[in-house]
Chain A
């Protein structure tokens, strides 16, 4: 973690903690200080997650007691894939979402970071403008963009002279929503990339420039490869974000009519009127498996240098 500069310009080498016999009270302190947070995270995050996996093999309306649970094996998974059209649609939309996030906000974010890293005058102001959407909630992003997309009086239709139902038409609404999501995502990517760029030794770039390499060449040949950890991280974060996307489609039409996402289907099945707990859990488990792959990748990236 180089970006967190040690408060006391301490020695960089981490010497192991002194071997002092710990008293009984110290051992209790350790147990409580680590045990309490661990218990909360285990109890409210991990154990429920395990139960979701278990419930995915059941048929249950979630209303009756646990005795009304009927175990049906992998039937929910079979149903999800074969007999539940929204799931196909959601899978398709999630993949589209991911691809879109990569093509537009990621590339634009990196491009902006590279431009702003050149120390232009007013660079701070530009940066602030690009990442102010990051501080807004996704739900709020949804509301703000409704002013742009609305059929009567929306900016887009007024300017284009069209009367497209941007958020209601199932053929176009996913694109409209992805643009809004990208609006927020770009600033975040830019921020991560700017931080990565700052960590690169400037002399490397200077050397390349003196050897006659243009800025574009320098970026692709020298800087980009050096940014490997940041690049990897951005890939993983984008995948996780694409998978977790929810708020935006929910505030617009509860994730229906063209805006199906796996997250919204799970929510609708579990909290909604349907009350198909087992089925919703199966969908959630599918999400879990996909995300765990990328979370593992993330852990590998950030913990690699921690011996």
Chain B
């Protein structure tokens, strides 16, 4: 954080003679005013920014009827019933479980197969690697709608035994959602990890080869442990993205009770159409996991987002 700290500090030792020193003092004074203005602006913006969330939080603890009679800008009518109701009647725990059944396997699979592809691409610099990388990365950036129809047909056409999917096909099953997330997000994972793996000194792998380690062992026991920071960052991002998915569940699921929680909230909105406070409580509950992940793993989250993006 030191690189841009108080500008005057840098100029002070340079300009040693008198008149310049005066200028430095004036400069410093101007800077402190600028500092105050900056703080003021930032604080105002930050308050504006956090307001929608605080507002949702505040109203999630208030009774709808109280608010109707006293107006939303009032104080009072505090209750926990919105939470108990969305938890019990809205069935939030059930949808949370659905989300977990989709998110956890998907994230693990993405990291596993993505890191395998990244390892091969990073370890063997062939000519066609650029094409392979392009296939992976571009796949991640496509608008989801561009492959919707054929995927929809394909999912309906692939049968699954009933013990795996009550619909009897890949459509409307957790497997289908997991697969589509894997297909979509693996590209990002390959991209980030292959760049990361290129920084692993080749001598390390040479040594492993000499010791008789096969390729898979080099990947599993040498390279993968070195990639732990990148894997952690990717895992954080993937959890957030997959948990937050709305579109795929909407398009590839039809049974309301199988929906992940983000998509299921729309049902809550439908059935409790008028009760804004209940919707607020539902929103807070749905947001909670990603916000907690973010607070706990902020460092990983941030590095993950910028890892693939900045040269």
Q: Which of A119-141 contact B (CB under 8 A)?
A: 119-120, 123, 126, 128-140
Residue from the list A16, A38, A135, A191 in contact with B132, Cβ < 8 A: A38
Across-interface contacts of A277 in B (CB, < 8 A): 149
What's the count of A-B pairs with C-beta under 8 Å?
353
The answer to the question of B95 belonging to the interface, with a C-beta cut-off of 8 Å to chain A, is no
Whether A48 contacts B147 in the complex (CB less than 8 A), given A17-B202, A202-B4, A298-B141, comes out as yes
Residues of A within 8 A of B294 (CB): 132, 135
Q: Is B75 on the interface with A (CB-CB < 8 A)?
A: no
* Residue of B7, B123, B200, B282 ringed by the most chain A CB atoms within 10 A: B7
Q: Is the CB of B138 within 8 A of A299?
A: yes
- Interfacial residues of chain A within 1-32, with CB under 8 A of chain B in the complex: 1-8, 10-11, 14-18, 20, 22-23, 25-26, 29-30
In the bound complex, residues from chain B placing their C-beta under 8 Å from that of A34 are 116-117, 120-121, 132
What separation, in Å, do the CA atoms of A194 and B3 have in the docked complex?
Answer: 13
Q: Which residues of B contact A192 (CB under 8 A)?
A: 305-306, 309-310
B100 within 8 A of A: no
Q: Which residues of A contact B221 (CB under 8 A)?
A: none
Partner of A26, one of B184, B215, B266: B215
Known contacts A62-B153, A271-B152; A3/B303 CB under 8 A: yes
B148's nearest neighbour on chain A, judged by CB, is A270
Q: Which residues of B contact A55 (CB under 8 A)?
A: 149-150
A246 at the interface (CB under 8 A from B): yes
Residues of B within 8 A of A11 (CB): 201
Is B262 a contact of A285 with CB atoms below 8 Å?
no
On chain A, the residues within 8 Å of B77 by CB distance are none
Q: Which residue of B lies closest to A265 (CB)?
A: B145
Count residues on chain B whose CB falls below 8 Å from chain A CBs: 125
Q: Is A291 an interface residue (CB 8 A)?
A: yes
Contact of A51 among B50, B125, B150, B205 (CB under 8 A): B150
B291 with A130: CB separation less than 8 A: no
Decide if the interface of chain B is mainly helix, strand, loop or mixed: helix
Nearest opposing residue in chain B for A123, CB measure: B1
Residues of chain A lying within 8 A (CB to CB) of residue B240:
135
Asked, given contacts A183-B49, A291-B141, whether A271 binds B200 with beta carbons under 8 Å apart, the answer is no
A125 to chain B, nearest CB (A): 8
- The docked-state distance in angstroms from the alpha carbon of A107 to that of B198 is 34
Smallest CB gap from A240: residue in B: B141
Which residues of chain A in 223-256 are interfacial with respect to chain B, using CB atoms and an 8 Å cutoff? 229-230, 233, 237, 240, 243-244, 246-247, 250-251
The residue of chain B having its C-beta at the shortest distance from the C-beta of A187 within the complex is B49
Partner of B269, one of A10, A30, A143, A271: A143
Q: Count the A residues whose beta carbon is within 8 Å of the partner chain — how many? A: 123
Q: How far, in angstroms, from A118 to B179 measured CA to CA in the complex? A: 44
Interface contacts beyond A34-B117, A148-B55, A284-B146: sample of 9 additional A-B pairs, CB < 8 Å, sorted by A: A1-B199, A37-B190, A120-B42, A123-B1, A139-B265, A153-B67, A230-B309, A263-B143, A291-B141
B interface residues, Cβ below 8 angstroms from A: 1-5, 7, 10-11, 14, 35, 38-39, 41-42, 45-46, 49-50, 52-53, 55-56, 59, 67-68, 71-73, 113-114, 116-117, 119-121, 123-125, 130, 132-139, 141-154, 179-180, 182-184, 186-187, 190-192, 195-196, 198-202, 204-206, 209, 214-216, 219, 226-227, 229-230, 240, 243-247, 250-251, 262-263, 265-266, 269, 276, 279-280, 282-283, 286-287, 290-291, 293-294, 298, 301-303, 305-311
Residue pairs across A and B with Cβ atoms less than 8 A apart, 18 shown, are: A10-B200, A18-B206, A34-B120, A36-B116, A37-B190, A48-B154, A116-B42, A119-B4, A130-B45, A138-B244, A139-B266, A144-B52, A144-B283, A192-B309, A246-B145, A251-B246, A263-B144, A287-B145
